[in-house]
Amino acid sequence: MVEVGLTHFLVVSSFLFAFGLYAILTRKNAILVLMGIELLLNAANINFVAFSRYGNFGLNGQLMALFVIVLAAAEAAIALAIVLNIYKTFGHVNVDEIDNLKE
């Protein structure tokens, strides 16, 4: 077994990314879709930190990861507000039934 290096971390993040995408594509509940988005962001974060560590970029990658976390927090707050509005409007939060965009 090879020594753990950059590639290992990248593979883990690839898996996280794929699962996040899977959640976004297939789940019907809006909150589960949100969780998928969080997984995507985490995958990206792992890449940032890993490249920062193995590419000798100092702390720049880590700072980017921090900023992404902040953005994720803001995004989660807004998204939940949207979800609540959807709930008030439609009485449910099932994304597959919301197809107003078609009209």
Partner 1 sequence: MSIYDFIFYLFAAITVGSALLVVSSDNIVRSAFYLLATFFGVSGLYVLLGADFVAVTQIMVYIGGILILLLFGVMLTSNITNVEIKKGMKNLLPAIIGIGILLGAVISMMIDTRWKINVGEIPQTTSYEIGKLLITDYVLIFELLGILLLIALIGAASMARRERSK
Partner 2 sequence: MTESSLISLAVTILFLPLVGFIIVLLFGKRYEKLYLVEVGLITVALLLSIFVGFIKLTNYVNDTIITQFTWIDLGNVPSIGHLTINLGIMIDNVTVIMLFVVTLISALVHYFSIAYMAGDKRFSRYFAYLGIFTFSMLGIVIADNLLMIYIFWELVGLSSYLLIGFWYEKKTASDASMKAFLTNRIGDIGMFIGILILFTNYHTFSFAEIFEQISNGVVPFGSNGWLTAAGILIFLGAVGKSAQVPLHVWLPDAMEGPTPVSALIHAATMVAAGVYLVARIFPLLTADAMIVIAVVGAITSIFAASIALTQNDIKKVLAYSTVSQLGYMIMALGVGAYTFAFFHLVTHAFFKGLMFLGSGSVIHSMHHEQDMRNMGGLKKKMPITYITFLIGTLAISGVPLTSGFLSKDGLLAGTWAFGNLTGHYLIPIIGFVVAGMTAFYMFRLVIMTFHGEPRNQHKYDHAHESPKLMTIPLIILASLSIFIFYTPNPAAPADGWFYNWIQTPATVVPEDARFEFMKSDSHRVEGTEINNYGGSGSENAVVTHSEMYENEMHNVHYPAMILSIILAGLGILFAFLMYHWKKISADKLAEKLKPLYNLSYNKWYADEIYSYLFIQRTHDLSRFIAWFDSTIVDGIVNYSATFTRGVANIAGWFDTYIVDGFVNFTAFVNGFAGLALRKMQTGKVQTYIVYVVFSVIIILLIIRPF
Give the per-residue contact string, 12-51, with partner 2 (x = CB under 8 A; - = no): ---------x--xxx------x------------------
Q: State which H helix or E strand residue 2 sits in.
A: none
Q: Does residue 82 bind partner 2 (CB under 8 A)? A: no
Radius of gyration of the chain (CA): 17
58 or 103: CB nearest partner 1: 58
Tokens representing residue 36 in the block:
């998928």
Bridge partners of residue 29, in order along the sequence = 94
Q: Does residue 23 bind partner 1 (CB under 8 A)? A: yes
Longest dimension (CA), the chain: 56
Q: State which H helix or E strand residue 93 sits in.
A: none
Size of the site for partner 2 (CB under 8 A): 13
**Footprint of partner 2 (CB under 8 A):** 21, 24-26, 33, 95-96, 98-103
